C-alpha cells in the first residue's frame, strides 16, 4: 500500500478547522463547604473540578469513591467486534466486568473510578523474544497498579479485575500491598472449547506435529482457527491463569465460586456486580486486606493449589503475593509439606486422567466444591474471613445447600452428560482413579538449590509399578530454545534422550517459559520417552517428565552449566513420597569447568537484566522474584561500607 505524503500531512477537509476555543459551562456550583475550602489540599479541590469536567452528577459530589483497576486490552465495538485487537482473549472482555461493577457502585450511591494496565499473552509470545519480558512484566504491572491506587488518595476501596498469567498475579500483589484498604478481586474467567476442535493446549504443538508429518497444513489451519472458540476469558485448561484464579478465591480475595466462570456469560457478569456490593460491605464493616490475607489464608491457597493440580508458576507467584501482604513467604519445604498432605481431587486439562475443561470444573462446583471435600477431611482452615465478609465455614455451609450448586451440577449432567463427581472427587475416589499429588522438588548434583516438576502430570505409562519415574539417558545440550525446537522438528531428538536447556534462567532470558518444547513432547508420539531439564520455567499447562527452575541457574554458576553433550543424566521422581533427584553420573563435576559458551541471550533487554539482578538480591525465584527494597538498599549500603535499610513495616516481609 502506497502512502501519499500530502494525505499524511493534511486531510484537505476544511471542516476540521471549525472548533471553539472556549465553551459555555452550564453546571450548578460545587457543593463545597467553607471548612473544605479552608482545609483541603489544592489537589483535593482540583479533583472535584476534574470530576465536574468529566460530567459527574452534581448530586454525587461527596459520595464515597471506589477505584476499579483492570488489565483490559483492545478496543471492542458495541456489538463485540474488534476496532483494535487486544493481546489475548483474557483481557478482551474484561471491560464488561468493569462496566458491570461500576454501574453497581454507581447505583449504590458511590462514585466509581477506573484505571487500566494491560497485560501480554504468554501464548502469543512463546518462542519469541517477547518471552524475555513476561515474568519481569508482573513486577512492573504490580508497581503500576499500586501507584494508581495511591494516586487516587480519596478512594475508599479497590476492586481489581484480571484474568491471565502475569496480569492476575500482578493485581493480587497490588491488592495485597494495600493492607489498609478494603479490596476485592474479580477473576476474568475462562474461554470455551470448540465443538470437536483442539483445545488451546494441544493446538500450540501444531507446528511440531506438522514438521514431523503428523498433521496436514489444512488440519493445522482449521485447528488454529477454532481453538479459541469464544472471544473472552483465560485458556480452557488449568494453567497459570486458571491456577491464579483458584488461588485468589482460596486466599479469600474473591467471592465464593468466582474463579473459572465462563467469560461473557450472565453468571460471569453477575459475579462482578456482587463483588461491587461486597466491596461496599467490606468498607462498611471496616474489613481491610490485612484482615483477609492472614497466614491461615495463605495456607489455604497452598492447599487448594495442591488439590487442583495447579501450575508450577504459582511457586513464584504465591510467595510474591505473600511478600506484599507482609506474610512469611512459603518455602520449598512448605510446598513439599502441603503436597504430601493434600491429594489432587480435580480432573482437569492438562493433568487428566480424562482432562475436563475449566468451564466444566466451574460447573462441577469449582473452588467451594473442592473445599467441601477438604473440610470433611480436616485439611482446610475454615475460620478465615474472606471478602464476602463472613467466615469461610459459613460460606461453605451456604454453598453445600445452594440452588447455584444444584443447578450447575444438574446442567453439567443433563446437557453435557458429565457427572460432577467425576470432575471433582473425594479423596478416596481420586485415589482409586490414580490421581497423585501435584508437585515435587527434585534435588541432586545438577540442582543443589532445587528444581520443580509437576509430578502428577507425568504420563502414567512411563511410571514404574511402584509409582516411581526412573530415567537414565544421554544429555542433548542446548543454550537456546529455538535450537532445541529445531532439533525436535528435524528428528534429531530420540526416545530416551534428556534435553538439557541452559542459560534460560533469570540472568539468561528473564526466566522464559519453554512451552514450545513441553507441548511438542506431550503431543509427539515418542515425546513421553524424552525428559527435559532446564533453568527456565514452564507454562502452567506443561506436562511430562519436565524439570524446571533448576537452581542455581547456569549463569549463576549452577552445575547444569557444566553438562556436555552425551553426559549420562539420571532422573528419579517418586510420585508417592514426593521426592526426586536429578544427577549426572560418571562425571566429576567438581573437577569440570563451566562450559565456555555459556552466555545470556544477546537480545535480552536491559529492563529484564535489571529485573533479574534485583529479584536475585531479594531472594530469587524461590522467594517469588520480588523486589525487596530494604534488602537491596542494605546490600548497596554494605558495598559502601555502611549499614543501610530501614525498619520493615506491613507490606514488606523478612526473607
* Residues whose CB is less than 8 angstroms from the CB of residue 514 and which lie 6 or more positions away in sequence, other chains included: 481, 484, 501, 504, 532, 534, 536, 537, 538, 548
The conformational region for residue 310 under phi > 0 = left, psi -120 to 50 = alpha, else beta, is beta
3-state secondary structure of 326: coil
**DSSP calls for 219-251:** HHHHHHHHSS-SSSSB-SSSSHHHHHHHHHHHT
CB atoms within 10 A of CB 324: 25
Closest CA to 513 of 541, 492, 487: 541
Residue 539 bears catalytic tag: yes
Written as nine digits, the cell of 174 is 497490588
Rounded to an integer, what is the distance from CA 280 to the centroid of its chain? 27
Pairwise CA distance, residues 228 & 490, whole Å: 28
Closest CA to 530 of 513, 515, 548, 545: 545
The conformational region for residue 122 under phi > 0 = left, psi -120 to 50 = alpha, else beta, is alpha
**How far is the CA of 53 from the CAs of 19, 58, 325, 554, in angstroms?**
18, 11, 37, 56
Beta bridge partners of 476: 499
- For 121, the enclosing helix (H) or strand (E) is none
Polymer length of the chain: 655
8-state DSSP, 423: H
CB atoms within 10 A of CB 413: 15
- The answer to whether the CB of 283 falls within 8 A of the CB of 156 is yes
Count of helix runs (H) and strand runs (E) in the chain: 27, 13
Active-site residue (options: 519, 539, 542, 618): 539
Pairing relationship of beta strands 111-116 and 579-585 according to DSSP bridges? unpaired
- The answer to whether the CB of 272 falls within 8 A of the CB of 93 is no
Alpha helices in 61-166 (DSSP H): 89-92, 94-107, 122-125, 134-150
- The answer to whether the CB of 196 falls within 8 A of the CB of 170 is no
Rounded to an integer, what is the distance from CA 201 to the centroid of its chain? 16
**How far is the CA of 630 from the CAs of 158, 177, 557, 641, in angstroms?**
26, 15, 26, 16
Q: Buried b / exposed e across 261-271, counting CB within 10 Å, b at 16+?
A: bbbbbeebbeb
CA atoms within 13 A on the CB side of 482: 7
What amino acid positions are annotated as catalytic residues?
A: 539
Amino acid at each position: 500500500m502506497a502512502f501519499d505524503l500530502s494525505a499524511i500531512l493534511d486531510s484537505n477537509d476544511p471542516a476540521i478547522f471549525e472548533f471553539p476555543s472556549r465553551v459555555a459551562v452550564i453546571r450548578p456550583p460545587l457543593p463545597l463547604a467553607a471548612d473544605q475550602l479552608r482545609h483541603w489540599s489544592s489537589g483535593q479541590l482540583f479533583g472535584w473540578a476534574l470530576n465536574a469536567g468529566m460530567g459527574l452528577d452534581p448530586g454525587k459530589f461527596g459520595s464515597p469513591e471506589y477505584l476499579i483497576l483492570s488489565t483490559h486490552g483492545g478496543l471492542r465495538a458495541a456489538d463485540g467486534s474488534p476496532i483494535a485487537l487486544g493481546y489475548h482473549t483474557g483481557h478482551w472482555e474484561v471491560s464488561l466486568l468493569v462496566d458491570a461493577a461500576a454501574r453497581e457502585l454507581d447505583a449504590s450511591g458511590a462514585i466509581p473510578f477506573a484505571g487500566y494496565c494491560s497485560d501480554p499473552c504468554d501464548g502469543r509470545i512463546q518462542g519469541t523474544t517477547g518471552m524475555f519480558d513476561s515474568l519481569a512484566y508482573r513486577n512492573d504491572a504490580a508497581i503500576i497498579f499500586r501507584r494508581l491506587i495511591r494516586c487516587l488518595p480519596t478512594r475508599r476501596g479497590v476492586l481489581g479485575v484480571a484474568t491471565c498469567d502475569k496480569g492476575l498475579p500482578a493485581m493480587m500483589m497490588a491488592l495485597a500491598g494495600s493492607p489498609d484498604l478494603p479490596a476485592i478481586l474479580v477473576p476474568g474467567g475462562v474461554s470455551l472449547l470448540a465443538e470437536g476442535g483442539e483445545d488451546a493446549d494441544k493446538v500450540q504443538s501444531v507446528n511440531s506435529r506438522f514438521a514431523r508429518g503428523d498433521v496436514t497444513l489444512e488440519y493445522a489451519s482449521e485447528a488454529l482457527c477454532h481453538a479459541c472458540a469464544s472471544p473472552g476469558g483465560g485458556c480452557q485448561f488449568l494453567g497459570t491463569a486458571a491456577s491464579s484464579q483458584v488461588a485468589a478465591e482460596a486466599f479469600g480475595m474473591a467471592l465464593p465460586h468466582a474463579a473459572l466462570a465462563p467469560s461473557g456469560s450472565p453468571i460471569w457478569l453477575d459475579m462482578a456486580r456482587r463483588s461491587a456490593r461486597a466491596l461496599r460491605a467490606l468498607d462498611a464493616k471496616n474489613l481491610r486486606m490485612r484482615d483477609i490475607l492472614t497466614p491461615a489464608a495463605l495456607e489455604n491457597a497452598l492447599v487448594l493449589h495442591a488439590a487442583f493440580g495447579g501450575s508450577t508458576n504459582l511457586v513464584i507467584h504465591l510467595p510474591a503475593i505473600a511478600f506484599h501482604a507482609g506474610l512469611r513467604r512459603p518455602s520449598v519445604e512448605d510446598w513439599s509439606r502441603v503436597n504430601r498432605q493434600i491429594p489432587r481431587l480435580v480432573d482437569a486439562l492438562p493433568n487428566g486422567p480424562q482432562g475436563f475443561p475449566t468451564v466444566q470444573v466451574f460447573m462441577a462446583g469449582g473452588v467451594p466444591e473442592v473445599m467441601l471435600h477438604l473440610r470433611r477431611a480436616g485439611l482446610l482452615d475454615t475460620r478465615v474471613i474472606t471478602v464476602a465478609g463472613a467466615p469461610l465455614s459459613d460460606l461453605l455451609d451456604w454453598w453445600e445447600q445452594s440452588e447455584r450448586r444444584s443447578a450447575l451440577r444438574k446442567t453439567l449432567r443433563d446437557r453435557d452428560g458429565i457427572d460432577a463427581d467425576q470432575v471433582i472427587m473425594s479423596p478416596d475416589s481420586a485415589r482409586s482413579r490414580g490421581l497423585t499429588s501435584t508437585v515435587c522438588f527434585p534435588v541432586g548434583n545438577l540442582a543443589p538449590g532445587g528444581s520443580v516438576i509437576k509430578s502428577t502430570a507425568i504420563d502414567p505409562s512411563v511410571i514404574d509399578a511402584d509409582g516411581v519415574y526412573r530415567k537414565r539417558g544421554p544429555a542433548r545440550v542446548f543454550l537456546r530454545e529455538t535450537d532445541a525446537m529445531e532439533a525436535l522438528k528435524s528428528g534429531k531428538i530420540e526416545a530416551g534422550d534428556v534435553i538439557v536447556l541452559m542459560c534460560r534462567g533469570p540472568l539468561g532470558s528473564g526466566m522464559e517459559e519453554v512451552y514450545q518444547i513441553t507441548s511438542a513432547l506431550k503431543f509427539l508420539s515418542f515425546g513421553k520417552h524424552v525428559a527435559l531439564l532446564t533453568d527456565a520455567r514452564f507454562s502452567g499447562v506443561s506436562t511430562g517428565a519436565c524439570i524446571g527452575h533448576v537452581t542455581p541457574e547456569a549463569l549463576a554458576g549452577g552445575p547444569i552449566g557444566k553438562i556436555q553433550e552425551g553426559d549420562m543424566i539420571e532422573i528419579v521422581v517418586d510420585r508417592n513420597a514426593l521426592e526426586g533427584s536429578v544427577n549426572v553420573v560418571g562425571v566429576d563435576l567438581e573437577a569440570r569447568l563451566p562450559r565456555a559458551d555459556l552466555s545470556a541471550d544477546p537480545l535480552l533487554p536491559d529492563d529484564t537484566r535489571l529485573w533479574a539482578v534485583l529479584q536475585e538480591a531479594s531472594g530469587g525465584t524461590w522467594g517469588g522474584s520480588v523486589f525487596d527494597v530494604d534488602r537491596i538498599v542494605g546490600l548497596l549500603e554494605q558495598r559502601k561500607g555502611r549499614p543501610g535499610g530501614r525498619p520493615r513495616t506491613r507490606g514488606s516481609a523478612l526473607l
